[in-house]
A and B are shown apart, each in its own frame.
Chain A
Amino acid sequence: MGFIIKKDQWINLAIVAATLWFIWFAQTHLDEYTVRILNNIAIFIILAVSYNLINGVTGQFSLEPNGFVAIGAYVAALLLLDADAKEYQYDIESPYPWVLALQANFVWALFFAGTFSALLALALSFPVFRVRGDYLAIVTLGFGFIIRILAINNPEITNGSLGLNDIPEFSNLYWTGGVALLAVIAILNIVDSKFGRAMKAIRDDEDAAIAMGVNTFKIKTMAFCTSAFLEGVGGGLLAALLTSISPDLFTFFLTFQLLIIIVLGGLGSTTGAIIGTVLVMGGSEWMRFLDEPMNIFGIVETPAMPGMRMVVFSIILIFVMLFAREGIMGKRELKDLFKKKRGES
């Protein structure tokens, strides 16, 4: 009976088909500016759903994305640049021979970007998950700084603060959108599996989860490494989209944006993370006016205030946490909404 498709699965297939059609339509019909924004949204969807897995689903507060995105971007960039291009742009120190020798096609570059991030996440898991308490947050926050320090102080590998330029522009909507679709499907399947149930159990009551025989260290580590893998891949896609990267690109602001996205969408909901990405990325473009000089009713002329958007972002975050902790979706997914409508929940 394996070939009979249930009603829910028809809906899922329809959504996947519609997404694929939209990716094709956008890439071939829409103008360059829109495609650029859509590319950004697709990459941020990858980052947001994977960040949500550790923060929202497993309930372990982490501030890691900027570190792992940076790692992924650097690994992918080093693999995509050919030896001549590297030799040409390393101005501070000449690169190590093995750096010159690194070379792979785009698929392998993304794979290694993810794998390298996941291995580092595995290494971080041992100090932070063996102890109870919220050390993950502070360790990952520090990790982001360390990555920057390492990138600046090892110009033989990373070209220091100058960063890497002329990275081949492989990313287009087929890649970013396709990977985003795969990431969402993968995350939804993980959340629905026994591992996902264990993650939610840890979030809701860690003692009860331990009493039920859940190996909390293993489950937390799995969630963290999965997040890191997808964030590394996202970083690789970002590097191949922007074509130039530098240590200052991956600051804490990136993590903060993602935090707003998943909090606004509803911690623990993958659907919410996607909605949050669209809202925050769109809103971010729209709120650009805040950073520019303003003329309020023709009376007061305010000077340009770069950074005003970030102040607004942080106020939104605090506000959501205090007054609407569930965000837009709470912990529900799209399919739960359908169920509610049919009165089955």
Chain B
Amino acid sequence: MDFLTFMQQMVNGFSLGSMYALIAIGYTMVYGVLRLINFAHGDIMMVGAFLGYFGIAVLDLPFAAAALLAVVGSATLGMLTDKIAYKPLRNAPKISLLITAIGISFFLENAFNVFFGGVPRAFPVPDYMSHILNLGGLVFSVSSLLVPIVTLILLGGILWVLFKTKYGMAIRALAFDVNTVNLMGIDANRIIMIVFGMGSALAAVGGVFWALNYPTVEPMMGVLIGLKAFAAAVVGGIGSVTGAVLGGFIIGFTEVVVIAFMPELGGYKDAFAFVFLILVLLFKPTGILGYDFEKSRF
């Protein structure tokens, strides 16, 4: 394998990893404030991709407007699931919350399956997005170059919100102690809703980019991508946004690079993230940048 091929794989891995990262941020933020694995998160990404598809193919919107529709629609859906399904269970045993999350996930998958069909639909990629660039032998499409750029900009934005604004301070405080946050006169439920909105919006960005790069959308696409993104969040350290992005890159790189070096493992591509998850849980459960949530509560 020569240097050029290697660089090419790095670019591909960077692009794939960014998409996992965008989705992993939502997992990690929701886990931070609620200690909940939001099983529906991958499916909210799927809804985002579908909204982008409907925006372009049905409503005939330009790509940017369709992407905006996807982001706003998914954020609304995320906040709605929190309000309808998770908020009434704040004081219930954790297992009830997890079961509801799985219920929402299964509902979204199957509702989309029933109403829009399980056959993958081709995503109408605008020409300027599928335009192929050639930089000294490195070949990639505009959209795959755009993913990491947008991801890093959004990461900067999220970090700014988390560490420079009052809302961010409230979100970080929630990760430590819900009751004290309430005592400080902050409406914890409103903050949690904002977290769901932010996470879902990022998932929608990830979903639209996924649809651009692998130009199909289908109701079950969120399951596996969601699972891998969660693994990414754990690898990076659950609760840490930067960690989620890092974990996303690691998992994306591994998938691309291992397949490039050992094509015979192609059939196992979807299993790598799982292996990472198991290894991290075995040897460093707090991940790369995470902190021990169980300890932090006391």
State the A residues within 8 Å of B (CB). 55, 59, 61, 63, 126-128, 130-135, 137-139, 141-143, 145-146, 149, 152-153, 252, 256, 259, 263, 267, 305-308, 310-311, 313-315, 317-318, 321-322, 325
Contact = CB atoms under 8 A, between A and B. Distances in A.
Contacts of B293: 133
B30 interface: no
A133 B223 CA distance: 21
Given A61-B95, A131-B285, A153-B267, A139 B103 contact: no
B177 interface: no
Interface in B85-113: 85, 88-89, 92-96, 98-100, 102-104, 106-107, 110-111, 113
Contacts of B268: 149, 153
B282 A61 contact: no
Among A126, A146, A252, A318: residue with most chain B CB under 10 A:
A318
Contact of A259 (B99, B111, B227, B267): B99
Nearest to A129: B281
Interface of B: 35, 37, 39, 85, 88-89, 92-96, 98-100, 102-104, 106-107, 110-111, 113-114, 118, 223-224, 227, 230-231, 234, 238, 267-268, 270-271, 273-274, 277-278, 281-282, 285, 293-294
B287 to A, nearest CB: 11
A314 B112 CA distance: 13
Given A256-B106, A314-B106, A130 B285 contact: yes
A149 B271 contact: yes
Given A318-B100, A322-B85, A59 B110 contact: no
B96 A321 contact: yes
Given A138-B37, A146-B271, A310 B281 contact: no
B274 A145 contact: yes
Given A133-B285, A145-B271, A314-B107, 5 more contacts: A128-B281, A137-B98, A153-B268, A305-B114, A325-B96
B99 A126 contact: no
Contact of B267 (A145, A152, A310, A315): A152
Contact of A318 (B85, B230, B271): B85
23 contacts: A59-B93, A59-B95, A126-B282, A127-B278, A130-B281, A132-B294, A134-B94, A137-B39, A139-B274, A139-B277, A141-B39, A141-B227, A149-B267, A149-B268, A152-B267, A259-B99, A308-B114, A310-B110, A314-B106, A317-B100, A318-B85, A321-B89, A321-B100
A221 to B, nearest CB: 14
A135 B281 contact: yes
A290 B244 CA distance: 41
B106 A310 contact: yes
A216 to B, nearest CB: 13
Nearest to A308: B114
B114 to A, nearest CB: 5
Leading 8 A-B pairs by shortest Cβ distance: A314-B107, A127-B281, A153-B267, A317-B103, A131-B285, A310-B110, A318-B103, A314-B106
Contacts of B271: 145-146, 149
Contact of A134 (B37, B103, B278): B37
A142 B107 contact: no
B102 A138 contact: no
A311 B111 contact: yes
Nearest to A305: B114
Given A149-B268, A153-B267, A322 B106 contact: no
Chain A interface main SS type: helix
B294 A259 contact: no
B221 to A, nearest CB: 14
Contacts of B285: 130-131, 133
A306 B100 CA distance: 23
A322 B97 CA distance: 9
Contacts of B281: 127-128, 130-131, 135, 139
A126 B100 CA distance: 27
A305 B99 CA distance: 25
Contact of A61 (B85, B88, B98, B294): B98
A321 B93 contact: no
B103 A127 contact: no
B284 to A, nearest CB: 10
Given A134-B98, A139-B278, A145 B103 contact: no
A318 B104 contact: yes
A313 B107 CA distance: 8
Nearest to A256: B106
Among B106, B234, B273: residue with most chain A CB under 10 A:
B106
Contacts of A131: 281, 285
A311 B93 CA distance: 25
A307 B118 CA distance: 10
Given A133-B293, A153-B268, A259-B99, A311 B227 contact: no
B231 A133 contact: no
A138 B85 contact: no
Contact of A322 (B93, B100, B224): B100
A152 B273 CA distance: 18
A267 B89 CA distance: 16
Contacts of B89: 321-322
B88 A322 contact: yes
Contacts of A138: 37, 227, 230-231, 277
A254 B293 CA distance: 33
Nearest to A312: B110
A314 B95 contact: no
A55 B95 contact: yes
B107 A311 contact: yes
B9 to A, nearest CB: 22
Given A138-B230, A310-B110, A317 B99 contact: yes
A188 to B, nearest CB: 21
Contacts of A321: 89, 96, 99-100, 103
